[in-house]
Amino acid sequence: MAIRLIDEKCTGCGACESQCPFGAIVIDDSKARFTESCTHCGACVSACPFEAIVREEESPKKTDENMDYRGLWVFIEQDQGQSRSVSFELLGEGRKLADAMGQELAAVVIGDRVEALIREAVASGADKVYVVEGSEYSHYDSDAYTKALTDLVNTYRPNVLLLGATINGRDLGPRVACRVETGLTADCTELGVDAETGLVAWTRPAFGGNIMATILCPNHRPQMGTVRPNVFKRPAIDYSRTGEIIRVPSKVRLADLRTTLMNVVNACTAACNLEEAEIIVSGGRGMGKPENFQVIEQLARVLGGAVGASRAVVDAGWMPHPHQVGQTGKTVSPKIYFACGISGAVQHLAGMSSSDIIVAVNKDPEAPIFKVADFGIVGDVLEILPAMIKEFEKCK
């Protein structure tokens, strides 16, 4: 999809400039001009009273060429042989999608000494595992992983490719999509199969989380998307399953890499490792001031959990963004989630409502958080949390 300006019709009236939601149109020498910020959304097309802006369709790939792409792939993210949970969450959901589309489910494992990951991928539902192994993949490197995954896509031509919306997944996905000339739907919170086309229906928050957009990719392959961690449950492990293992020789040499890993610094401690935490203690504006988050941190420490925060808290600068839970933060699914001084806006609920047990503490008995909570305590968090900490410490 592209937007084109017909110069001879344009009068420079500015109607399109005022309607552009991205500020991507400027009036220069009595003519409209598009800047690099243009997303080709089309808002300017209907705004122009002189029909000087038109939308042009790109030439789609041939249908018979798209038919050559088969299978649903899940990229298995790992670090030093330790898998990220989101990869296996995607295998579980990928199994459902693959069955609905009548295609096989494959896992892609890139790394060093990954035998355990291969077994786990098959046990989690993969029919096939593509493996690229070597010391050059011992740590994530943009150049190495992009080349390896791009070569796999170009060689084996999958119909669908899923990646976790992690730091590495958000780096790798767009790089591969650009090289294989396809689209990528980022940060998805729901997956499905479109009844009319049989395509993957990718659903994600849009316009700051105010709407949920469902996106299809009809013309290019593979259909690609990154999916937030903890949106789906991990499948049950069945080590009696068997699958085909395809080992692909590495085409990457250490000399080809443009960066050298000197050291690994764990800047984010266990207290903000929200995706993997079984217990999360989150605070909202009801905590009163940033100094009061010491109580949140103390309760999390006693319980061996992680510290979360609402968007309002992060926007106010009380806590850094890695702690944010919600539609524009992290999606979590712990065994126990403590919501302390959090009113329960729909954007926050979208990030934690799949928790097994929700405990809410709020002085407002009408707070929306109590509608989703399994246990609710009405009262001042600064009185209740210290009492909870004292009781939990007795159990240690």
Domain boundaries, given as residue ranges, for the chain: 2-56, 63-256, 270-394
Pick the CATH number of 2-56 from 3.30.2090.10, 3.90.180.10, 3.30.70.20, 3.40.50.10800: 3.30.70.20
- Does 42 show up as a binding residue in the annotation? no
- Does 342 show up as a binding residue in the annotation? yes
Q: What is the pLDDT of residue 212?
A: 83
Q: What is the pLDDT of residue 295?
A: 93
- Does 343 show up as a binding residue in the annotation? yes
3-state helix, strand, coil in the chain (%, to 5): 35, 25, 40
CB 26 within 8 A of CB 35: yes
Q: What is the pLDDT of residue 71?
A: 92
Q: What is the pLDDT of residue 62?
A: 47
Q: 220 exposed, middle or buried (CB, 10 Å; 0-12, 13-18, 19+)? A: middle
- Does 347 show up as a binding residue in the annotation? yes
Q: Which two tokens stand for residue 33?
A: 């001009």
Task: Give me the tens of pLDDT residue by residue for the chain, a chain 396 residues long.
Answer: 578 889 889 999 999 998 898 888 999 888 999 887 788 888 899 899 999 999 876 555 545 567 788 999 999 998 777 788 889 999 999 999 999 999 999 999 998 888 999 999 999 999 999 999 988 888 888 889 999 999 999 999 999 999 998 889 999 999 999 999 999 999 898 899 988 888 999 998 776 666 788 989 988 999 999 998 878 888 888 999 999 999 999 888 777 778 877 777 665 555 567 877 889 999 999 999 999 999 999 999 999 899 999 999 999 999 988 899 988 888 888 899 999 999 998 889 988 888 889 999 999 999 999 999 999 999 999 999 999 999 898 876
Cα–Cα–Cα angle for 211, 214, 219, nearest 5°? Answer: 145
261: CB partners within 8 A, 6+ apart: 139, 141
- Does 14 show up as a binding residue in the annotation? no
- Does 310 show up as a binding residue in the annotation? yes
- Does 211 show up as a binding residue in the annotation? no
- Does 288 show up as a binding residue in the annotation? no
241: CB partners within 8 A, 6+ apart: 122, 123, 125
- Does 361 show up as a binding residue in the annotation? no
Domain 63-256 is found in CATH 3.40.50.620: yes
Q: Does this chain's domain 2-56 share its CATH topology with 270-394?
A: no
- Does 25 show up as a binding residue in the annotation? no
DSSP character string of 267-285: -S-GGG-GGG-SEEEEE-G
Q: What is the pLDDT of residue 231?
A: 82
Q: Determine the longest span between alpha carbons in the chain, in angstroms.
A: 80
Whole-angstrom distance, CA of residue 264 vs CA of residue 266: 7
Domain 270-394 is found in CATH 3.40.50.1220: yes
- Does 353 show up as a binding residue in the annotation? no
CB 199 within 8 A of CB 219: no
pTM to 2 decimals?
0.66
Q: What is the pLDDT of residue 375?
A: 95
Cis amide prior to 222 (ω within 30 degrees): yes
- Does 345 show up as a binding residue in the annotation? yes
Q: What is the pLDDT of residue 350?
A: 85
- Does 346 show up as a binding residue in the annotation? yes
